[in-house]
Structure 1
Amino acid sequence: MWLLSVRVIVELAIPCAKSGPRVFKGFSVGFHPRSSELVYNGLTQLGFDQLHHEFSFQSEQSHVSLYLSAMYSLSGLVGKPSFQVNPVKGLDVKLTGSGTNGAMPTTLSPTILTVNWRCEITRSSPYEVNILIPVEGYDPVEFTLTKECG
């Protein structure tokens, strides 16, 4: 009786529409100048990747300041942030601060992005504010803030 042994190596490749780096390493977003609760090393952290009730801001909080920082050599690649609110009506949102005008966010001098929001319509579930920060040559950095309007 003969025993045969066969070894098979399979390599999988997934084609990407865009070539090049996808994650903007060295980029952070946090609630304090040297923190990274929302985005760490280019990756959105758990709790800010989608709607999470336990991470929602309360009705009485009229704004939240976010600190953006990147390695100096790459800070010029960061674009102006934009946002979308879901549902579209009921929460008035404005972005202010040095992060909105294209200032370079460095680790020594982070830029500030202030999210000013005002509840116009109360509802039982939180509003989602999806913030997108374009980065030249990389996938955009995206995270979600949620606001209670009860």
Structure 2
Amino acid sequence: MSELVSQKIEAILYLKGQAITIAEIAEILACDQSTAEEGLIDLIAEYAHRNSALEIAETDTGFSLRLREEFADLVQKLVPSDLGRGALRTLAAIALKNPITQSELVELRGSGAYPQIQELVEQGFVRKRRQSDGRSYWLQVTEKFHQYFEIDDLSKLV
């Protein structure tokens, strides 16, 4: 197997930031699935032999590059996300409805949701964009949300 294929797969997993299937990898590389699978197997073996802080993990939705579980405490120290219970509940409501209008969210969570929304936007878990009619904002979770909580498919939460 070409080392270049494994390196390209590593780059894809790193850049994608979420699980990706072998078929998607093959499509990006413009190769057949067996070549992509061989490259992925080589990459998994390479990570296992070098005893890295990173690993290639298989999930229901594909393969992803992630930090090994034993380094999870570093994430807590380095990724600032001191979300209170209310902010977490607001984030959960946004994730479950994704996307949801700010006005709908305030109806669900009350006016206390406004500062929580601002906190979630500032921490990068939620993206806020004005609706086309200009009356309210659309709220939706970001890539940081997916990476931080390791949730690839929000439909599985319901």
Q: Which has the higher helix share?
A: 2
> Relative contact order (alpha carbons < 8 A, sep ≥ 6): 1 or 2 greater?
1
Bin of the TM-score, shorter chain as denominator length: under 0.3
Greater CA radius of gyration, 1 or 2?
Answer: 1
